[in-house]
Every structure is written in C-alpha cells, then in structure tokens.
Amino acid sequence: MNDWIAIQPQDDVIIALRDYVKGERIDLPDGHSFTLLDDVPKGHKIAVHDLAQGADVMKYGFSIGIAQEAIAQGNWIHSHNLKTGLHGLLEYEYQPGQPMTIDMPPEHLRTFDGYLRPNGEAGIRNEIWIVNTVGCINKVCEALARMGQSQFGSRVDGVYHFPHPFGCSQLGDDLKYTQQLLASLVEHPNAGGVLVIGLGCENNQVDQFRECIAPEYRGKVRFLKAQETEDELEEGLRLMEELVELVEQEKRQPLPLSKLKIGLKCGGSDGLSGITANPLVGAVADLLVAAGGTAILTEVPEMFGAETILMNRAADEHVFNDLVDLVNGFKQYFVNHGQNIYENPSPGNKAGGITTLEEKSLGCTQKGGRSSVVDVLRYGKRVTKTGLNIVEAPGNDLVSVTALSAAGAHIVLFTTGRGTPFGGPVPTVKIATQSDLANRKKHWIDFNAGQLLEGQTMEQVKEQLFSQIIDIASGRAQTLSEQHGFREIAIFKDGVIL
C-alpha cells in the first residue's frame, strides 16, 4: 500500500495517507521523484509539480481553488497558499450528460424484512414516538417516554421522544415550517404509533397541528392536551397503550428494496472523505436506486462549487430549474444574513485536510453516486418519487439528519473523518473515512471505509456495507447510536429558503 494516493491523473496534488516530514522523498509511478519541502499532515495535499500564482489547483479532476502564491513541487497545499475560486451568484445552463449504467445489488440482497403499513409504506422499526407541539412540555414528554419504555418496551421496538424548543410565540411562515417538519416526522413509517402532546396555550395548537398531518396517517396518532387533562402522565400512558395494541399486531415480512429509503450525510469531514467514505456511500446509493429504491441527499451549501455536477444529472429541465432555485436561494440566504457565500470549511474540516468550499463540495456530492436527480424537495417535505432526491437543508448535522428523516429516510448513512456520537430519529450509520478513527472510536463508528486504502476493492466494501444496511433495515442489527439511546432532532429556525 502506498503512503499517498492520487485521485485523477490530471490532478495537481496527491493526498498523504500518513504524516510526512520535510525532506522525505516521494516516488511517482512514472519514475519521477521529488523531495518534500514541508511537513505534511495525514489527509492533506502535496503538490506534484510547480504551480504558478493564480493557477487553478486540480483535485478530483476539478479545480478546488486558486494558488495564492507560486507553489513548488513538494510543497504542502493548504489555507496558507490556496484560496477559493468561487465568487458571486452564478447563472446555470442545463447540459444533461448521458445516463450512467448502474449495477443491481446481488440477488441475495434485494429484499429486507420490514413492516408493511396500511397505506403501503414500509417501516424498518415498530416504535412509538412522542412528538410535542411546544417546547414547554419537553420534560413531561421525556418522563412519558421513560415510563412508556419501562411499561411497553418489550412489546414494541422502543418508545422515543424528540425534544425541541419551538411551538410557542411562533407566527406565519416560522410556525408553518415548524409544523411541516414535525408533521412529516409524525408520518414517518418507522413510528407505528405516535402520541402528539400539546400544552394548550401555545401558538402551535394541537387542533391546528392535527390538520397538518395527512388524513391517511391520523389512524396511528393519538392527541393529548396537557392543560385539559387532570393527570397528563396517566392519560398519556393510557393513550400509549392503545397505540401499542395497534402496533404490536404488525409483523416483519420480506419487502422489495423499492420500499427502502436512505439519507446521505457527511459531518466532520477530512481529506479522505471524498476518497473513501463518500464514494462508497454513493456506490451504495446507486445500488439501491438501481433496485427501485430511494436515496436522499441534502447539505445544500456543501454543493456550492460542485452543484453543476448534480444539475447536469437532473432527470429533466424542470428538475434542473428546481435545483438552480434551491442553490441560488441558499446563496441568497447567506447574503441576507451578511455572510460570505463561499465560507471556508469548519476548523475540523481544515484540520483534516480540506481547504476550500469547492474541495469540500466535490467530496460531499460524491455521496449522491451517479444516478439521475429525480426531484427537489422543500424543507420538511416528504419524498414522493423513487430514485435520487435532493432535499433543502443546511450542512448542520442535527438539522440535516432531521430533514432527511422527515423526508422519509428509514436509515441515514453518515460519513465522518472526525467522528461524532450523534444519532438522528432514524438509525444513523456512522461510516469512518479511515481506520485510525474506526479503531479509536469503536463505540461511535458502525463501518470502516478505510478498508478501501488497505487492499479491499470498492466492490467488496460496497457489498459489505449494503449487507449491513439490509441487516439494520431488517431488525437483525442496530446502529451504535441506537444501542446507546442517542436520538435527537433539530429544526431549522429560518424555515425554508425557496
């Protein structure tokens, strides 16, 4: 195994797979060699030839920024000598590429054992969810979830509550989008039954919120107004028992992959994210889409600089225009808040080797694989089309995983080069970009994509991960965040951008 990796032949950089010290020699496949002029941390970029000041620096076969100064062969390339090449709002032209041929998953991985809901949707968990209309009763709901788990946990896959601080003193679109997000969670098929609890004096009134839930889902929901009930805990348990009796009648059965939906997310990226974990997730997403299933991609600001790759995969010009509106709408959101549209990545991303937003984006968008983009969804809306969908949400881990869940994702594949214990409302599969992280954080990481740097082929690792996803979907395995009880939601306070 090399101690560095080259991604595309035309790239100006190679990526260090270990820490390098100034003065070490790099031997290239063409027989040339050079000496390192700087110390270079693992995951960071090394110039393979001289670059003039102002030159585009290529990685993944695309420009990841502009050289701020002359860069010599063997220099470390990072924030001190590379800057973004992005600026201003852009105009786009639809230039559709040729559809890609995508392989089907192996025959033995074309079904999963799920719960077929009365409306024809599938669930991969048979859980009771408690959703509160207002943050004032978070603790009441937390107590009910604890009591419900103790009393009913052996009869269902679990009782869970997702606290949030909103619902009071919200008006107009602000209230509307909070209601939309919460209603989409209520409708999620992983919840066989849902207890909606309101206080009684909040803007997000229970009766008003009930109307946000589509009629075909209301049969699995019970509603409680705490101020109108003598003992909300006792009444909550009574209603929960009704839901448990409903839910426990449903049993797992073999279902086609066309009913499975996965969300695609990265967080705490590093210089290997776009080389191992993100391409792996993209390959898995393609397998599911080829089998008639659904993949959902978000993190719109982390498409900036790579958005045309997705735009040119739009299924038609209508989808292309929706994607243009989504990207430009998010850029305008940055402008409205006085922020730099092309802000550099986070400190953790920079420490891991990512320098510019376009470098981050070119790695990030690989999670979408090679499939056509079939639809673009507003924040809080649910997927209606099979295939690759893009949903509106920011890069924030909690907000975007919640949006993916609300859109209908049964499972979220979460790639990371830095690590996180976070788990969303649906099973959240943590995929490490490299083995050091996977070995060091075994209680966080569900899958190690670092195998791709250690002799395993993409075909081998792709089938391993896909098999693990089928096991999770079928209830034969749990994610580590599920085992630890780590489940959270977060609501995008500014609501919708489009």
Same domain (yes/no): 411, 263: yes
pLDDT band at 335 (very low <50, low <70, confident <90, very high): confident
Mean pLDDT for the stretch of residues 145-165: 96
Same domain (yes/no): 225, 356: no
Contact call for residues 401 and 345 (beta carbons, < 8 A): no
The string of DSSP letters for 306-340 reads THHHHHTTBSSHHHHHHHHHHHHHHHHHHHHTT--
Taking residue 316's Cβ as centre, other Cβ atoms within 10 Å add up to 12
**Residue-level pLDDT at 1:** 55
Mean pLDDT for the stretch of residues 37-64: 95
**Residue-level pLDDT at 393:** 93
The Cα 213–Cα 204 span in angstroms is: 13
Same domain (yes/no): 224, 334: no
Residues 6+ apart with CB under 8 A from 477: 468, 471
pLDDT at 237 over 60: yes
Same domain (yes/no): 473, 358: yes
Query: In angstroms, what CA-CA distances link 394 with 166, 266, 364, 385?
Result: 19, 12, 13, 22
Same domain (yes/no): 268, 316: yes
The Cα 355–Cα 40 span in angstroms is: 14
Q: Is residue 109 domain-resident? A: no
Q: Which residue has the tokens 């990371």?
A: 416
- Burial zone of 338 (CB within 10 Å; 0-12 exposed, 13-18 middle, 19+ buried): exposed
**Residue-level pLDDT at 168:** 93
Q: Which residue has the tokens 């499972």?
A: 411
Q: Which residue has the tokens 């994607």?
A: 323
**Residue-level pLDDT at 37:** 97
Mean pLDDT for the stretch of residues 322-338: 86
Q: Is residue 238 domain-resident? A: yes
H helix runs in 112-171, sequence order: 138-152
Q: Is residue 122 domain-resident? A: no
Q: Which residue has the tokens 């993190």?
A: 299
Positions of E strands within 91-154? 111-116, 122-123, 127-132
Higher pLDDT pick, 243 / 346: 243
In the three-class reduction of DSSP (H, G, I as helix; E, B as strand; rest coil), residue 445 is classed as coil
User: In terms of Cα–Cα distance, which of 122, 94, 92, 98 is closest to 383?
Assistant: 122
Q: Is residue 181 domain-resident? A: yes
Please give, one letter per residue, the 3-state secondary structure of 401-416.
Answer: HHHHHHCCCCEEEEEE
**Residue-level pLDDT at 60:** 92
Domain end residue (candidates: 206, 225, 249) = 249
Same domain (yes/no): 139, 270: no
Same domain (yes/no): 169, 57: no
pLDDT at 498 over 50: no
The Cα 378–Cα 368 span in angstroms is: 18
Same domain (yes/no): 330, 470: yes
Mean pLDDT for the stretch of residues 177-201: 96
The Cα 249–Cα 228 span in angstroms is: 31
Q: Is residue 104 domain-resident? A: no
Q: 2-37, pLDDT tens digit by residue? A: 799 999 999 999 999 999 999 999 998 888 899 999
**Residue-level pLDDT at 280:** 97
**Residue-level pLDDT at 95:** 87
- Average pLDDT of every residue of the chain: 93
Mean pLDDT for the stretch of residues 461-474: 98
Q: Is residue 260 domain-resident? A: yes
Contact call for residues 433 and 270 (beta carbons, < 8 A): yes
The Cα 111–Cα 114 span in angstroms is: 9
Same domain (yes/no): 241, 265: no
User: Can you give the C-alpha Rg of the chain in angstroms?
Assistant: 24
Domain count, the chain: 3
Structural domain span for residue 349: 256-497
Which two three-digit tokens encode residue 233? 């805990």
pLDDT band at 165 (very low <50, low <70, confident <90, very high): very high
pLDDT band at 344 (very low <50, low <70, confident <90, very high): low
Q: Which residue has the tokens 């080797």?
A: 353
**Residue-level pLDDT at 343:** 67
Same domain (yes/no): 371, 414: yes
Return the ∠ at Cα 296 (arms to 293 and 302), rounded to 5°. 150
In the three-class reduction of DSSP (H, G, I as helix; E, B as strand; rest coil), residue 368 is classed as helix
* Count of positions (residues) in the chain: 498
The Cα 222–Cα 325 span in angstroms is: 38
The Cα 211–Cα 217 span in angstroms is: 11
Helix (H) or strand (E) holding 65: strand 62-67
Q: Is residue 95 domain-resident? A: no
Residues 6+ apart with CB under 8 A from 25: 33, 34, 35, 36
Classify strands 45-47 and 13-16 as parallel, antiparallel or unpaired.
Answer: antiparallel
State which amino acid sits at residue 180.
Q
Q: Which residue has the tokens 């207002």?
A: 134
Which two three-digit tokens encode residue 368? 């979408």
**Residue-level pLDDT at 488:** 95
Q: 392-420, pLDDT tens digit by residue? A: 999 899 999 999 999 999 999 999 999 99
Task: Please give the DSSP secondary-structure letter assigned to residue 20.
Answer: B
Same domain (yes/no): 340, 286: yes
- Report percent pLDDT > 70 for the chain: 98
Mean pLDDT for the stretch of residues 77-88: 90
